[in-house]
A and B are shown apart, each in its own frame.
Chain A
Amino acid sequence: MMDTQSRYEVVIGLEVHCQLNTRTKIFCSCSTEFGKEPNENTCPICLGMPGVLPVLNKVALEYAIKASLATHCEVQALNRFARKNYFYPDLPKGYQISQFELPLARHGYIKIRANGEQKTINLTRIHMEEDAGKSIHGENLGHPDKSYVDFNRTGVPLVEIVSEPEMRSSEEARQYLMELKSILEYSEVSDCNMEEGSFRCDANVSLRPFGQKEFGTRTELKNLNSFKFVQKAIDYEVERQAQLLDQGDSVTQETRLYDSNKNITYSMRSKEEAHDYRYFPEPDLVPVVIDSEWIEKVRQSLPELPEQKRERFLKDFGLPEFDAEVLTASRPLANYFEQCTGLFDKPKIISNWVMGELLKELNNENRSIEDSPISPEMLTDMLKLIDKGTINGKIAKSVLEEMYQTGKPAEAIVKEKGLTQITDDSAIEKIIDEVLANNPNQLNDFKNGKEKLFGFFVGQVMKASKGQANPAQVNQMLKEKLNAS
């Protein structure tokens, strides 16, 4: 991989299809709810019956405007829908209503972090369109020589977000997708659920020798339904293209599918002829005119976006960049953290516990922060116990686990289990004496210069106190004892 990337420059552009979070479809009043019986969410309009008329869903349009503004795009005053004509069984009308020469928005950008540096990826355009249906291969329903079509998804509102070919590695592509997903989730225009297909990505990949201005021939990769697969498919494709170029062969411009089981990309059966979609203005829909007043109104409804929040977390809470990045990746997580800071005034300590122990517990069970059994109040109450010296950090970890399992407050757990930190000098001294008496050989070695054994004694004392002794005191007193004896 290193080798390939030092010989060729990798050029990646991404097209993301994102489902807008409306109750109903883009051009009819059918539900968009996922997981219904096949063809339950259909009507004569989305089925493309003769004589029906589509009417644009206003909320879908406003969400699309919101997505455009959140990605710094210029929303275009005049919008028009277009028919994209092609035959496929999941497309009942024989065309998809999309936008072509007058898309909703142009010239946006998002900022990503790559190799520790900020990089701007420009967006070419964002346009609205309707989703197609879902086809199921016949063998799954008893007829291998047939296909079965479910039109529930037909007409679900999408935005297609097209980037410039400005990413230079699969890692940058992954960063771009994570940032874009985070922005769309923050804006609440989409739930971006990749498993349910509400956030889908196609990647255009090509290689060129360093210094060459012209792009190489690209392939389009489809079927990339997780961030991991996007990265793996691109990595595979980069190697494949590099091998072709090394042999003096050329890359064929084509669409390739990613097979996640085999971790390869393979050519879709080559088309008999190039795409000819014969776009033309959709005569069933009137143009959409968006004035600046409307744009401003939608802009007002935008919440603080990840980038702004990250900067505020750096400035207001003095967090390291890594912490700010992790905590702002999702809006609920950022909210959780901010609630904590309102209850306990040590942001970095909160950040350590949220990113460390709490997220570890949640990730183990694949739970989101919204379902956390430990509320911000409970977490900060526990942190206050550490702060006051009631418990030490090590004990706190087991208290947190217990809180997570039982939902009991920290103080009750500490009381119940007698976990209060031992800070009484004489009690600690007693434990130290016992430990020294029980380990005469180690004591002897220590006295003969094996100073590394100091750590051993600290460990033994902490163990003997069941982790409850104040570690700083143990260190101090042990040092005095060993030097004196």
Chain B
Amino acid sequence: MSDKIKIDHVAQLARLKLTEEEKARFSEQLNQIVDYIDQLNELDTSSTEPTSHVLPLNNVFREDELKRIVPVDSNEELLKLAPEHDKGHYKVPQIIS
């Protein structure tokens, strides 16, 4: 098995705190996933257009028209979905500046 995953780096990017046992386990699993996908490299794709979307679709737009998906007086409902809110704002841990 390859060792492409740098587990500390990945954990840091995902803001995850992992135990040593988890690091070993996830490292192994993630490397297996990468190896699996690496099989694609065995194919010759030099004449294949890169795909960024599964559907053969381009240019899907909306008009610049104002629409409210959620009524104004339900904004409170959206706020309530957050762990904390106060004075119309989402309340989050202090941002270090």
Contacts and interface: CB of A to CB of B under 8 A. Distances in A.
Nearest to B91: A146
Nearest to A57: B64
A49 B70 CA distance: 13
Interface residues of A, number: 56
Interface stretch (A148-156, A230-238, A357-365): A148-156
Given A38-B88, A39-B78, A44-B70, A146 B64 contact: no
A144 B13 CA distance: 27
A148 B91 contact: yes
Contact of A38 (B53, B60, B72, B87): B87
A145 B87 CA distance: 16
Label chain A's interface by main secondary structure. Answer: loop
Interface in B1-59: 9, 12-13, 15, 52-55, 57-59
B70 A43 contact: yes
Interface residues of B, number: 40
A194 interface: no
Contacts of B91: 143, 146-149
A109 B70 CA distance: 43
Interface stretch (A279-287, A334-342, A369-377): A279-287
A463 interface: no
A39 B81 CA distance: 13
B55 to A, nearest CB: 7
A147 B95 contact: yes
A100 B90 CA distance: 30
A89 interface: yes
Contact of B59 (A60, A85, A278, A288): A288
A85 B14 CA distance: 10
Q: Considering residues B59, B79, B87, B91, which has the most beta carbons from chain A within 10 angstroms of its beta carbon? A: B59
B55 A43 contact: no
A87 B91 CA distance: 16
A269 interface: yes
Contacts of A28: 69
Contacts of A88: 95
Interface stretch (A131-139, A412-420, A447-455): A131-139
A29 B94 CA distance: 30
A276 B11 CA distance: 13
Given A39-B78, A288-B58, A29 B67 contact: yes
B89 A29 contact: no
A273 interface: yes
Given A47-B78, A148-B90, A278-B13, A40 B62 contact: no
A39 B75 contact: yes
A42 interface: yes
Interface of A: 22-24, 28-31, 37-40, 42-45, 47, 49, 55-61, 80, 85, 87-89, 135-138, 141, 143-151, 269, 272-273, 276, 278, 281-283, 285-289
Interface of B: 9, 12-13, 15, 52-55, 57-70, 72, 75, 78-79, 81, 84, 86-97
Closest 3 CB pairs of A and B: A281-B52, A148-B89, A59-B64
18 contacts: A29-B62, A29-B67, A43-B69, A58-B61, A58-B64, A59-B64, A135-B95, A138-B94, A141-B86, A143-B91, A146-B93, A147-B91, A283-B53, A286-B55, A286-B58, A286-B59, A286-B60, A287-B52
